[in-house]
Amino acid sequence: MFQRDYIMRNVEQLGPVLAAILKTKVAGELEEAEVQIATAGMLFLGFDVDLIRNLSEESVLELVRQRDEGDAGAYVVAAELLREQGDLLELTAGADAGHDSYVKSLSMYLEGWHGNPVHRTEAYSARITELYARLKPHTMSNEISSSLMRYFETTGEYAHAEDVLFRRVGGGDDDLIEHGIGFYTRLLSKPDRELVDGELPRDEVEEGLATLRKMIAPG
């Protein structure tokens, strides 16, 4: 309980820090902004976020998971700082320079969102939507794709979930195909109105399910 309260206090205290970083960036003091991000990482997470740029998504998740101890607060802190790092890299090194930081930030946001209902707010969802839009033109790992699908299914954005799915299943990954079959099967139990609201009407659900089943059919 103490660790959970400690992490959630950190999430609340991060707000003024992010505001200060934004102010510094707007003033054009980009090197100072980099120092602020590094300092915040040490203060809230115990490591400089710049040091995790060369780690894989899985390694970063495990590193933050060790800090998290059952609560989603550390994921949120890491996600916010990585997003800030991505913004700063694009300002200093040009378009796409922040791509890796954005990927890891999205991974953290999704872990936090799935990990604790307290983070399922409009503001938090806006962060996920923003990063998804940035990264959509690029290839994402199966892990992030699966997590995004779960997110969009939970929020009722079924067409987005399908889009994520079909950006990945072309490679023939059986696990992801099975994941997609489960997704469509669950949708078939939904009312027609809900499917239409999610921009994936029943006939498209049935078509998608048939397509995936053909992919794993023998011969």
In this structure, the answer to whether residues 146 and 198 fall within a common structural domain is yes
In this structure, the answer to whether residues 54 and 78 fall within a common structural domain is yes
In this structure, the answer to whether residues 29 and 126 fall within a common structural domain is yes
pLDDT band at 67 (very low <50, low <70, confident <90, very high): low
**How many distinct structural domains can be found in the chain?**
2
The residue out of 110, 137, 164 marking a domain boundary is 137
Residue 96 contacts residue 86 (beta carbons within 8 Å): no
In this structure, the answer to whether residues 162 and 124 fall within a common structural domain is no
pLDDT band at 3 (very low <50, low <70, confident <90, very high): very low
In this structure, the answer to whether residues 96 and 196 fall within a common structural domain is no
pLDDT band at 131 (very low <50, low <70, confident <90, very high): very high
Report the pLDDT value the prediction gives residue 72, as an integer from 0 to 100.
66
Residue 17 contacts residue 36 (beta carbons within 8 Å): yes
Report the pLDDT value the prediction gives residue 2, as an integer from 0 to 100.
38
pLDDT in tens, 165-200: 988 876 666 778 888 999 999 999 999 999 999 999
Report the pLDDT value the prediction gives residue 177, as an integer from 0 to 100.
87
Residue 88 contacts residue 98 (beta carbons within 8 Å): yes
Report the pLDDT value the prediction gives residue 1, as an integer from 0 to 100.
43
CA pseudo-torsion sign 120, 124, 130, 134: negative
Residue 92 pLDDT > 80, yes or no? yes
Report the pLDDT value the prediction gives residue 68, as an integer from 0 to 100.
54
DSSP class of residue 170 equals G
In this structure, the answer to whether residues 123 and 195 fall within a common structural domain is no
In this structure, the answer to whether residues 79 and 131 fall within a common structural domain is yes
In this structure, the answer to whether residues 186 and 96 fall within a common structural domain is no
Radius of gyration of the chain measured on its C-alpha atoms = 19
Q: What is the mean pLDDT of the chain?
A: 86
Residue 183 contacts residue 153 (beta carbons within 8 Å): yes
In this structure, the answer to whether residues 85 and 167 fall within a common structural domain is no
Mean pLDDT value of segment 131-155: 91
Percent of the chain with pLDDT over 90: 47
The residue out of 117, 137, 157 marking a domain boundary is 137
In this structure, the answer to whether residues 174 and 110 fall within a common structural domain is no
Query: How are the residues of the chain apportioned to helix, strand and coil, as percentages rounded to the nearest 5?
Result: 80, 0, 20
> Range of 161's domain?
139-219
> What distance in Å separates the CA atoms of residue 75 and residue 182, rounded to the nearest whole number?
27
Residue 96 pLDDT > 70, yes or no? yes
In this structure, the answer to whether residues 79 and 122 fall within a common structural domain is yes
pLDDT in tens, 28-65: 999 999 999 999 988 888 888 887 777 888 888 888 87
The residue out of 115, 137, 159 marking a domain boundary is 137
Residue 146 pLDDT > 50, yes or no? yes
